A and B are shown apart, each in its own frame.
Chain A
């Protein structure tokens, strides 16, 4: 079937605006991760969903960031009052619970905050 998809592929916004990034994981994958990759930086963990458990939000950099996963499938990452330092590529990955460490990454959303 299809891989992980993300939308939009590119988003340019003005400082102070809110943005929503969407991730459609591979069907049946119970784990879903959000990462971001800034220029010259490694992958930075943001949030992790596993099945029906409470998400691990420990990587969210501020309270402007939030994410939800509806019905154990689609996830939305929301950034409120965007700042220039939020500019990065936001990556979503899903993983079947039985294959720890095997990620299937989406193509990412490139966010530019002007």
Chain B
């Protein structure tokens, strides 16, 4: 079975400090992993995705994530938070062997303090 756990429901950081949003996954297969961001009153936006190429994935807006198979983790990081980063972030796993069904984590709400 596939599942995603986002370890923090809420993260608060000061502007200009690093961001770490944690995600652990469980999968019987080699998964594809994604991070999405949802700003208030807007749709989901794809930040980055891992599909068995380089384990360090760079996305938009300065975000990146590292796939660590030994730790079954795919944590999202950014060196310096910006006020516009305040949003809800979802970690997602998908496996082609189960028909590309997408499994979403429960989300992490990021607050950026001026």
* Chain A residues within CB distance 8 Å of chain B: 3, 31, 33, 35, 41-45, 48, 50, 56, 58-59, 93, 100-107
Contact = CB atoms under 8 A, between A and B. Distances in A.
B101 to A, nearest CB: 6
28 contacts: A3-B43, A35-B104, A42-B6, A42-B90, A42-B104, A42-B105, A42-B106, A43-B107, A48-B99, A48-B100, A48-B101, A50-B99, A56-B101, A58-B101, A59-B101, A93-B44, A100-B32, A101-B34, A101-B46, A101-B49, A101-B92, A101-B94, A101-B102, A102-B46, A103-B36, A103-B46, A103-B102, A105-B43
Contacts, number: 51
A41 B100 contact: no
B24 to A, nearest CB: 14
Interface class of chain B by DSSP: strand
Contacts of A104: 43
Interface residues of B, number: 21
Contact of A33 (B34, B102, B105): B102
A93 B101 CA distance: 12
A50 B100 contact: yes
A17 to B, nearest CB: 29
B57 to A, nearest CB: 12
Contacts of B101: 45, 48, 56, 58-59
B102 A45 contact: yes
A41 B104 CA distance: 10
Give the interface centre of A42, A48, A107 by most chain B CB atoms within 10 Å: A42
A81 to B, nearest CB: 26
Nearest to B46: A102
Contacts of B99: 48, 50, 56
Contact of B104 (A43, A56, A102): A43
A32 B94 CA distance: 15
A107 B101 CA distance: 21
